[in-house]
Amino acid sequence: MSKLAAVRPAYWIAGVLLAASVVVPLLVSTYAKDEPRLWGFPFFYWYQLLWVFVSAITVSISYQLVMREERKRRAEAGLDAGSSRKEGER
């Protein structure tokens, strides 16, 4: 089995969400205009600020997806949540 086949769909979805949050705001053609204005602000300013919130949401969704997959993976492997702690911390 190839290494790509072992990657679960949740990781792909998280990767696409994170990539979109980085790449789309860098595409100048999406925001290189003055109109439409929102409360007197040119499009560039409120569009970039909108991406701050969109990125926060996509990071949160990606985090939840990856953590859910990690919990499933650890449960399938028979590892409990406490086994990751060091022996001296118990």
Tokens of 89: 């911390």
Alpha-carbon gap, residue 68 to 45, rounded angstroms = 35
Q: Is residue 49 part of a domain?
A: yes
Q: Is residue 86 part of a domain?
A: no
Domain count, the chain: 1
Residue 1 lies in a domain: no
**Residues 42, 54: Cα–Cα separation, whole Å:** 19
Write phi, then psi, for 63 (nearest 5 degrees): -60, -45
**pLDDT confidence of residue 61:** 92
pLDDT, one tens digit per residue, over 57-80 is: 999 999 998 888 888 888 877 776
Residue 53 lies in a domain: yes
Q: Is residue 2 part of a domain?
A: no
Please report whether residue 87 resides in a domain. Answer: no
Instruction: Tell me the residue type at 14.
Output: A
* Burial call 37-56: b when 16+ CB within 10 Å, e when fewer: eeeeeebeeebeeebeeebe
User: Quick one: pLDDT at residue 59?
Assistant: 93
- Domain limits at 63? 8-73
